[in-house]
C-alpha cells in the first residue's frame, strides 16, 4: 500500500466519523416534535415574496442539477466527479449553524420554510437550544448544488488561466479570489433583500458596520473553502497524490467510490470546521437596529 493510498484511507475513516456524528444529530432532530413552518409575524409582504422567489430559484436549480448528475452518471455508467463532489458537500451542511457557535452573529429570514436546528441533537455539542433555524428549501440546496457548481466552475476557470500561467500559487490565488468574490456577492444579494442578516460583526473588520447591511470581512475566506475542491481537481494531473479524486480511475468498484466520497468529505468538513472555529475566535461586538423578525 502506497503512502498516498494510506492517507486516503485515513481520510475516509475521518469522513466516516463525520458522517456518523451528523447522522446521530439528524436522526434525533427528525424524531423530535419540531413543526415544519414559516414564521411570517411582522415580515413585510415584499420580503415574503423575495423569500419565496429565492426558494423557487434555488429549488429549480437543484432539479436541473440533479438531472445533469443523473445524465452524466448514466452516460458513463459510473459515478462522476460532479456527483462525488455534490454528495461530499451535502455531508458538510450539518455545520452551517456553527456560524453562531459563540454568539448570534447571523440570522436567516424566519419566513423561510424551517424545522428549527439539529445542533442540540448532536453528540457532545453542549447546546441545549438552537443556534440557527435552517431554511431547508434554500440553504440545504445551496450545499447540494450551488457550492459544488462553484467548484466545477473554478476548475474550468483554472484550466483556462493555466494557458497564461503555469504557476501553481497563481492558480490557487485566482481560484480562491474568484470563488470568494462570488460567495460575497451572493451573500450581499441576500442581505439586500433581507433574506439574511449579520446581527454582530467585528468592529474594525466589517463593511457598513452599524447598519442593517453590515457584513464581516472575516466571511470573505469562506469562498476559499468553496474553491478548495475545484483547485484540488485542477491540480490532480500535477500531483500524483491527488489522482484519487477521480472516480474514473482504477479500481472501478463501489467501495473505491465510497472511500473517495468519505475522504473528500473529511477534507471539506475539516476545512469548513477550521473556518467556523476561526470565525468564532474573532470578537463580534458591533450590532445594528434590526426588525424583530431578523433577530433584532
Residue-wise pLDDT for 80-108, tens only, equals: 999 999 999 999 999 999 999 999 999 99
Model confidence at 286, pLDDT cuts 50, 70, 90, reads confident
User: Does pLDDT of 38 surpass 70?
Assistant: yes
The model's pLDDT over 214-252, given as tens digits with 9 standing for 90+, comes to 999 999 999 999 999 999 999 998 999 999 999 998 888
Question: Comparing 85-94, 201-210, 286-295, which segment has the lowest mean pLDDT?
Answer: 286-295
Average pLDDT in the 67-88 region?
97
Name beta bridge partners: 207. Answer: 215
| pLDDT (tens digit per residue) in 119-151 | 999 999 888 889 999 999 999 999 999 999 999
Compute φ and ψ for 43, nearest 5 degrees.
-80, 125
In a domain, 173, yes or no: yes
All residues at 6 or more sequence positions from 144 whose CB lies less than 8 Å from its CB, including other chains:
62, 65, 86, 89, 90, 93
Task: Look at residue 195 and tell me whether its pLDDT is greater than 60.
Answer: yes
State the chain's mean pLDDT as an integer: 95
The beta-carbon contacts of 64-71 under 8 Å, at least 24 apart in sequence, are 65/144, 65/145, 65/148, 65/149, 66/145
Please give the average per-residue pLDDT across 61-79, as a whole number. Answer: 97
Q: Is the peptide bond before 14 cis (omega within 30 degrees of 0)?
A: no
Say what the pLDDT of residue 3 is: 56
**Quick one: pLDDT at residue 155?**
98
Q: Enumerate the H helices of the chain as residue ranges.
A: 3-31, 45-76, 81-90, 139-141, 147-161, 168-192, 222-235, 254-281
Q: So what's the pLDDT on residue 251?
A: 84
Distance CA 229, CA 236 (A): 10
107 closest CA partner among 214, 222, 198, 202: 198
Question: Is 46 within the bounds of a domain?
Answer: no
Confidence grade of residue 1 (pLDDT, cut at 50, 70, 90): very low
Residue 281 lies in a domain: yes
pLDDT grade, residue 288 (50/70/90)?
confident
Give residues with Cβ within 8 angstroms of 26, minimum separation 6. Answer: 94, 118, 121
Question: By residue range, what is the domain housing residue 269?
Answer: 3-29+55-294
Read off the pLDDT band of 2 (50, 70, 90). low
Position 127 scores a pLDDT of 85
Q: What pLDDT was estimated at residue 126?
A: 85
Query: 219 or 296, which is more confident?
Result: 219
- Region 7-20: mean pLDDT is 97
Into how many domains does the chain fold?
Answer: 1
Residue 222 lies in a domain: yes
**pLDDT of 7 strictly over 50:** yes
Q: Is the pLDDT of residue 32 over 60?
A: yes
Q: How many residues does the chain have?
A: 296
- Whether residue 236 is contained in a domain is answered as yes
pLDDT (mean) for 168-177: 98
- 40 in a structural domain: no
Local structure of 42: helix, strand or coil: coil
Amino acid at each position: 500500500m502506497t503512502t498516498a493510498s494510506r492517507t486516503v484511507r485515513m481520510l475516509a475513516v475521518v469522513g466516516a466519523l463525520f458522517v456518523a456524528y451528523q447522522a446521530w444529530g439528524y436522526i434525533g432532530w427528525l424524531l423530535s416534535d419540531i413543526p415544519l413552518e414559516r414564521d411570517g409575524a411582522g415580515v413585510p409582504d415584499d420580503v415574503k415574496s423575495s423569500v419565496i422567489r429565492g426558494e423557487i430559484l434555488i429549488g429549480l436549480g437543484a432539479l436541473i442539477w440533479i438531472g445533469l448528475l443523473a445524465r452524466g452518471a448514466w452516460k458513463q455508467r459510473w459515478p462522476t466527479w460532479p456527483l462525488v463532489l455534490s454528495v461530499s458537500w451535502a455531508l458538510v451542511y450539518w455545520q452551517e449553524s456553527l456560524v453562531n457557535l459563540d454568539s448570534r452573529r447571523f440570522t436567516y429570514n424566519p419566513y423561510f420554510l424551517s424545522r428549527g436546528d439539529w445542533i442540540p441533537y448532536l453528540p457532545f455539542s453542549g447546546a441545549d437550544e438552537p443556534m440557527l433555524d435552517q431554511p431547508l428549501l434554500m440553504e440545504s440546496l445551496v450545499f447540494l448544488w450551488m457550492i459544488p457548481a462553484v467548484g466545477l466552475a473554478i476548475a474550468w476557470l483554472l484550466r483556462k488561466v493555466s494557458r497564461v500561467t503555469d504557476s501553481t500559487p497563481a492558480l490557487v490565488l485566482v481560484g480562491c479570489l474568484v470563488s470568494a468574490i462570488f460567495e460575497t456577492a451572493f451573500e450581499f444579494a441576500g442581505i439586500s433583500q433581507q433574506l439574511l442578516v449579520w446581527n454582530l460583526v467585528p468592529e474594525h473588520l466589517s463593511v457598513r458596520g452599524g447598519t442593517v447591511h453590515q457584513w464581516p470581512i472575516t466571511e470573505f475566506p469562506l469562498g476559499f473553502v468553496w474553491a478548495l475542491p475545484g483547485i484540488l481537481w485542477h491540480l490532480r494531473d500535477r500531483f500524483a497524490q491527488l489522482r484519487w479524486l477521480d472516480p474514473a480511475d482504477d479500481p472501478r468498484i463501489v467501495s473505491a467510490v465510497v472511500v473517495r466520497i468519505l475522504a473528500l468529505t473529511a477534507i471539506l468538513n475539516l476545512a469548513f470546521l477550521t473556518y467556523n472555529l476561526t470565525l468564532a475566535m474573532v470578537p463580534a461586538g458591533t450590532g445594528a437596529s434590526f426588525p424583530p423578525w431578523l433577530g433584532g
